[in-house]
Structure 1
Amino acid sequence: MSEQNQLASIIDMAAGRTKADLLITNCKIVDVFNQVLLDGPLAIGNGKVIGWGEGYEGKQTLDAKGGIVMPGLIDGHVHIESSSLTPPQFARCILPYGTTTIIADPHEIANVCGLAGIRYMLDATKKLPLNVKIMLPSCVPATPFEQAGAVLEAEDLETMIDDEGILGLGEVMDYPSVTNHADSMMKKLLMARKHNRVIDGHSPGLTGKDLTAYVIGGIMTDHECSTTNAMLDRLSMGQYILLREGSTCKDLLNLIPAITPANARRCVLCTDDREPADILATGHINKSLRLAVEAGLDPLLAVTLGTLNAAECFRLQGKGAIAPGYDADLLIVDNLTEFNPKHVFTLGQEIARDGQLLVQIEDYVSDAVLNTVRLAPLTEANFTLPLTSDKVRAIGVKPRSVVTFNLETPVVKDAQGNFDAKLNPGLNKLAVIERHHATGNMGLGVLADYGIKNGAIAISVAHDSHNLVVAGDNDADMLCAVKDVEQMGGGFSICQNGQILANLPLPVAGLMSNQSPQEVAKQLEVLINTARGALGLSDAFHPLMTLVFMTLPVIPELKLTSNGLFDVKAFRPVEVCV
């Protein structure tokens, strides 16, 4: 059917001259423009919203049984890779909860596989019933102080900017390169501006004229606000604020009190990083709606944050509302407090009912993103950490946060003058091993308050360069866990007394599994329980996610990369020994 015939067809449906494809009866409809509920029925045709009210007929009907029809939910910023699921598996996980559109930043896989990783994410999402828009990663690597698997400059990114799946430039984490107008960053910002694309932000802790200088670079959003003051500062500068409710970083409830009728239209919901077990247990963006309403936000306003605001922020034409000609991305809920979807539609097709998918989603994996863990030969001797003083800079773990402490703590040396965790209660050894090009680079440091007793944990997921991280209290188990991750082609592994107690293979870029969300969630639960049980880690923090963020040198205070210890506040490398 030609475009003219398609338009004529929906005009006839809207005028009531022909039947709509589907008529949803016995329902109320969320009007995000007027912040009211409208009376149904609701007519849908050719994948579009046709109209509502009496006088419409449908070739098929669906009795909503008094339910409320809402626009499909939009996640304004998410890293699919952080779910440990491939894009098809991630779609299977979130669609039953009413999320029909996501803005995905693939900088995790881009740091491993470069442009090939971005192309994989595009190819893996093009045929999904989930609408996925990709932001081109702006920081590969995240800082000049890391060793990532790739380097992406403006010229590389521009080769992909016109792909229909590309929306804009991903979160600009290297804010010093913006405020100091580094040449490479300036070219990326100008490339995005030339193509009139959205630029995402990431500026935790930035204030005053530094923040002003950052925003004037054209950066339109920020998902890193954890206080109302930070949120209001950025709103006053014209940014959209993405209120984050992830598995590790939970800022939504801190920020809800700052939302007013005057600024609410500049607020968007996002998850950033959410684990499959969390999604399966509590939901996705619908969980954020539930929390916002429980915290006192008006339900219709909460829905607007999760739909229209995101669509307008990211220029998603035809998304985010129920209005004539808008895409029929919808969900039907029983009430506006729990937000449990009974039916979910994308482009007019019902794709989930009562929490169960109704459509087949094909898996997709490419050879270009396999076999990415490449290590130089390792022995226990590589983990030796010589001490030149009796005091070290230790990375302190902060419960339920990705922020760390920069601690100066006394240590006891072994007979050879080296660090031995077993001689230093409360301290573990931490290593970050370059895993992309087998360079043999390894950063060694001391981790405080993590609490491994008699064992080690190794992971190939480590923001943002995704080198291999291992923490433990003895070198033999650390090496054993690393070897297991290498053999799996990436993943999580726990070793004790030379035996692997639990693991999860992540063969896709060392970041993702193509197993089902339920299976991945089950294996992650075994890993967490093993870490807390056999290795004695505290319930106060997530044993895996704590390590995942231990290498991110753009979040204070002290981090470890494959090049060594990094003081984020001073933004420079530092020595372990004081």
Structure 2
Amino acid sequence: RQPTTTSIVEVTPAPPGTGAGGLSALGTGPVADAAALRWALDTPGPTRSRTVTELATHGHLDHDVRLAVGQGLGPIDAIRHASLLPARVHGLDSMLGSIAPARLADLQVVSTLAGTAPPDVVVAGGRIAAEHGRPLFDNHDLAPAWAVGRIRLPANLHAGSFAGPGLSRAGRRDASVAVVSIDAPRELAGPPVAGGAGGGPLDAGGPEGGPLGATGPEPVTETARRHGVRTVRVQPTVHGGYAVADPTRDLHKVAVFERDGGGGPVDVGLIRGCGLSRGALGVSTAQAPGHVIVVGARDDDMLTAARAVEGMGGGFVVVDRGWVRAACPLPLLGLMSDAPWEAVLGELAAVDAAAADLGCRLPFPLRTLATLGRLLYTRP
């Protein structure tokens, strides 16, 4: 093996609490000020979604209200900004957002806005749905058939598919290629949120390659800037005329698949910052139209991870030496599960622990990769 030069995309997710984004998906950590909290409560958007981990640990709008009160917003104002004002934004305040005649309302009854205790009583659809964090209902909803089994990878996928033509060094005058580098903090207060700033350091001796899109297929977008994504130059390890994964240098392969079973080529590049010593991680991403992302130290483990994600219909998987170490199936459009939330919570903890056992140093690694999606790839 001999080193040559490669380009890398730097990704530096910001810790929770940087401006209003610190509240967005989690409602955890300090935020800039009460004005930022007021804006975040009023403004619905994609960053308002939460995973089962956040819901089980922090709650939902009740936690946002507590945060706002803790930052100095009056209790009545905080509640209004989480209920009536968003209804007005959508033109629905004639039906929703307040407790009044001819209005529709679910209720949370709380004895205090301090602390993190669940509501004393939750009333939904005119019935008591929960008391002190204990559900008083059974969910008999059936998953629609059209939402299941929507992930289909290329039928001819094999381990050699991960030696993409972009990694070939034959006939290249420029020794550099593009690689994704993730310099995330080792500890976060909660799962990843949309937001971030800055990139990691460049490799010694390699010039910066510019923002994402300078050498890859993605344009420089506000999303890329928000995640702190950029392209830099490094030296990859070369074997048999191809740039290869080298865990000793924290360089791994990343593969991006379309989810519709199209026969197009697999996008394969390099990634830095995961810290994997071996194995592979596979995720189905949240961004439309959706992709399957696999990061790994070995091509055969990457193949196993990709097929496992496909077989589950989507979700998160950790593979080592050809075996699935842990998995969290998300069979509904590759985004959601129809299993009990307690089971999903345990599966999420298991995949995080398995990834950490393989040396991955990203906080909430599978969810971090799924959130970044195609931003993890740039053309070599």
Q: Specify the TM-score bucket, using the shorter chain as the normaliser.
A: 0.7 to 0.9
- Match for 1:359: what amino acid? F
Q: What is the deviation of 1:327?
A: 2.5
**Root mean square deviation, CA, Å:** 2.8
Aligned to 2:272: 448
Distance in 2 separating the partners of 1:492 and 1:364? 22
Aligned to 1:275: 51
Aligned counterparts, 1:211-222, within 5 A: none
1:368 aligns to 2:146 (yes or no): yes
Check conservation: 1:243, 1:267, Cα contact below 8 A. no
The structure number with the bigger radius of gyration is 1
Where 1:361 maps in the other structure, the secondary structure is: coil
Aligned to 2:178: 393
Where 1:392 maps in the other structure, the secondary structure is: coil
Check conservation: 1:269, 1:305, Cα contact below 8 A. no
Aligned to 1:358: 136
Distance in 1 separating the partners of 2:309 and 2:125? 41
Distance in 2 separating the partners of 1:259 and 1:511? 28
Q: Residues 421 and 390 of structure 1: is their aligned pair in 2 closer, same or farther, counting only changes over 3 Å? A: same
- Match for 2:168: what amino acid? P
Aligned to 2:208: none
Where 1:310 maps in the other structure, the secondary structure is: helix
1:291 aligns to 2:67 (yes or no): yes
Distance in 1 separating the partners of 2:260 and 2:40? 43
CA displacement, residues 63-105 of structure 1 (integer Å, 9 cap, x when unaligned): xxxxxxxxxxxxxxxxxxxxxxxxxxxxxxxxxxxxxxxxxxx
Check conservation: 2:247, 2:277, Cα contact below 8 A. no
1:493 aligns to 2:327 (yes or no): no
Aligned with residue 471 of structure 1, among 279, 295, 300: 295
Distance in 2 separating the partners of 1:542 and 1:365? 27
Distance in 2 separating the partners of 1:291 and 1:512? 27
- Match for 1:379: what amino acid? H
Distance in 2 separating the partners of 1:454 and 1:520? 25
**Fraction of identical pairs, as percent:** 27
CA displacement, residues 382-416 of structure 1 (integer Å, 9 cap, x when unaligned): 10132444323322324256514323232234232
Aligned counterparts, 1:125-164, within 5 A: none
Check conservation: 1:431, 1:444, Cα contact below 8 A. yes
Aligned to 2:3: none
Distance in 2 separating the partners of 1:532 and 1:464? 28
What is the aligned residue count?
Answer: 315
Where 1:296 maps in the other structure, the secondary structure is: coil
- Match for 2:257: what amino acid? I
Check conservation: 2:247, 2:297, Cα contact below 8 A. no
Higher relative contact order (CA 8 A, sep 6+): 2
- Match for 1:537: what amino acid? C
Check conservation: 2:151, 2:334, Cα contact below 8 A. yes
Q: Residues 273 and 395 of structure 1: is their aligned pair in 2 closer, same or farther, counting only changes over 3 Å? A: farther
Aligned counterparts, 1:92-491, within 5 A: 227=19, 244-247=23-26, 253-254=31-32, 256-258=34-36, 267-268=42-43, 272-316=48-92, 317-338=94-115, 340-376=118-154, 377-384=156-163, 385-387=167-169, 388=172, 389-399=174-184, 400=192, 403-422=227-246, 425-491=249-315
Where 1:414 maps in the other structure, the secondary structure is: strand
Check conservation: 2:41, 2:64, Cα contact below 8 A. no
Tell me which moved more, 480-489 or 336-345.
336-345
Q: What is the deviation of 1:265?
A: 11
Distance in 2 separating the partners of 1:523 and 1:380? 27
Distance in 1 separating the partners of 2:64 and 2:77? 12
1:551 aligns to 2:373 (yes or no): yes
Distance in 1 separating the partners of 2:254 and 2:299? 10
Q: What is the deviation of 1:424?
A: 6.1
Q: What is the deviation of 1:257?
A: 4.2
Distance in 2 separating the partners of 1:536 and 1:265? 35
Q: Residues 266 and 329 of structure 1: is their aligned pair in 2 closer, same or farther, counting only changes over 3 Å? A: closer
Distance in 1 separating the partners of 2:40 and 2:373? 35
- Match for 1:349: what amino acid? R
Gapped regions of structure 2 (runs ≥ 5): 1-16, 185-191, 195-226
Check conservation: 1:327, 1:348, Cα contact below 8 A. no
Distance in 2 separating the partners of 1:477 and 1:259? 44
Check conservation: 2:180, 2:270, Cα contact below 8 A. yes
- Match for 2:54: what amino acid? D
Where 1:551 maps in the other structure, the secondary structure is: helix
Q: Residues 453 and 323 of structure 1: is their aligned pair in 2 closer, same or farther, counting only changes over 3 Å? A: same
Q: What is the deviation of 1:437?
A: 3.0
Check conservation: 2:168, 2:241, Cα contact below 8 A. yes
TM-score (norm 1): 0.50
TM-score (norm 2): 0.74
CA displacement, residues 21-62 of structure 1 (integer Å, 9 cap, x when unaligned): xxxxxxxxxxxxxxxxxxxxxxxxxxxxxxxxxxxxxxxxxx
Distance in 2 separating the partners of 1:439 and 1:243? 40
CA displacement, residues 438-495 of structure 1 (integer Å, 9 cap, x when unaligned): 3243111221212111110011234222221100111111111112122222222111
Check conservation: 1:414, 1:420, Cα contact below 8 A. yes
Q: Residues 328 and 464 of structure 1: is their aligned pair in 2 closer, same or farther, counting only changes over 3 Å? A: closer
Aligned to 1:220: none
Check conservation: 1:495, 1:502, Cα contact below 8 A. yes
